[in-house]
Structure 1
Amino acid sequence: MRLRHKPWAQDLIDQHPKFVVPQAEQYKGMWQDKFQKQQPIFIEVGSGKGRFITEMAKTYPEFNFIAIELQTSVVVSILELQLELNLPNLLILHTNGRHLNQYFEHGEVNRVYLNFSDPWPKKKHAKRRLTSPEFLEQYQSILHPEGEIHFKTDNQGLFEYSLASMSQFGIILKQVWLDLHQSDFEGNIETEYEMKFSARGQRIYRLEAYFPQKEI
């Protein structure tokens, strides 16, 4: 995806620390204090323009949401939606999802959403995939013992890789959809990419998974 440069984007982000949290590392273990209500925290790694995460926050006010996005020109799109909606249960982190344990304590996050991540199709780039073992370790380090990963993609190769990667890591696959839009799944909130791909007739894949609880 070619991103349009927005020279004003960083200035707008800097003007709204209420929504785009600066120096986010200092809130590790204290994210509940940043929200109006203490309730389960769901994060989306790679939030794009923010349609999914803002719709989720609107639909489920009983949960707190954190959008995580690296690209400045995309973060500002999420911010513009939030400035319009002013959702009390949504915050934005302008950072890389590779180092989540710098921002969250173990057990602080209840759910991780991965939606239409870059498939990085070349084998030499496999470590960059958001379902590679390196990233799975990050999710495991921050998720609540009963927390889950919810993953959606249109890319069959990435989905197959993710099934294998998670299984080899020891993650339990709770449920798998090989054609989400032709299933009986209810309450699906689409991302921008999902709307585009499904309009072309492309199949959407989805899974829910969790880490097994360690025996004491």
Structure 2
Amino acid sequence: MSRKKLVRFAQNEENPNVVQSGKPIFEEIKGHWNSKQFQNENPIVVELACGRGEFTVGLGREYRDQNFIGVDIKGSRIWKGSSTATAEGITNVAFLRTQIQNLNQFFAEGEITELWITFPDPFPRDGDEKRRLTSPKFLEMYKPMIKPGGIVHFKTDNTGLFDYTLELVKSRQDIEVIAFTHDFYQSSMKDDHHGIKTRYEKMFSDKGEKIKYLKFRFISR
């Protein structure tokens, strides 16, 4: 392991906005994000596969009356978002270091108000469907954690994954599609995101890739 990574991992251990294995809060946080991490009762918004945290931190800057949690397994990536939030004094942002398939170990029923799935690995092979973050397996995991009427946002550059997800959610009786577009930056919805982009979104946009966006909610338990 490189010295740079060792330094970052050590800083993650010290940074109070990083929740990870080895810290007492890691075992206690489920159902207690507002009281134990943020010390307020503001709505909780979660970004999956947050990477370096550009989007999580960006949302935290814009919406100080909400709490934002970026989830990723890569400690060196989380370090970037954690350090940025700390340097800027953004106290409504935190990061959870864990595998996404373990998400239900860290959020109680109805604890999440909004969920963002941003540029996940498309896993294009049919045999890898269960690994897609918008597969039925994952949707069933997210559903109880999200408050009734809570919003799920999905952004991707991958047309195959987007069409798969859109068809799937349209086919479910417990999901209401609120809006979708195959060209986000030519849509009326783009201003709602305040120009905040993940690293991957900027990379794909700069290459001329059209960004797809889907917004939906679960309407029944």
| TM-score (normalised: structure 1) | 0.91
2:122 pairs with 1:126: no
CA contact 2:69–2:96 (8 Å) conserved in 1: yes
Report the alpha carbon displacement of residue 73 of structure 1 after superposing the two structures with TM.
1.8
Give the corresponding residue for 2:41.
38
CA contact 1:40–1:110 (8 Å) conserved in 2: yes
Show structure 2 runs of 5+ residues with no match. Answer: none
CA contact 2:104–2:145 (8 Å) conserved in 1: yes
1:36 to 1:88, Cα distance in 2 relative to 1, 3 A = farther
Cα shift readout 1:68-101 (whole Å, capped 9, x = no counterpart): 1111221112222122122111111011111221
Report the alpha carbon displacement of residue 9 of structure 1 after superposing the two structures with TM.
2.5
Give the corresponding residue for 2:218.
211
Greater helix share, 1 or 2? 2
Show structure 1 runs of 5+ residues with no match. Answer: none
Of the structure 1 ranges 18-27 and 148-157, higher mean CA displacement relative to structure 2 is found in 18-27
CA contact 1:47–1:67 (8 Å) conserved in 2: yes
Report the alpha carbon displacement of residue 138 of structure 1 after superposing the two structures with TM.
1.3
2:145 pairs with 1:158: no
Give the corresponding residue for 2:182.
178
2:14 pairs with 1:15: yes
Report the alpha carbon displacement of residue 196 of structure 1 after superposing the two structures with TM.
1.4
2:23 pairs with 1:59: no
CA contact 1:100–1:142 (8 Å) conserved in 2: no
In the TM superposition, what are the counterparts of 1:9-158 in structure 2 within 5 Å? 9-16=8-15, 18-21=16-19, 22=23, 23-33=25-35, 34-158=37-161
Percent identity between the two aligned chains: 34
Runs of 4+ in 1 over 6 A off after TM superposition: none
CA contact 1:47–1:115 (8 Å) conserved in 2: yes
| TM-score (normalised: structure 2) | 0.89
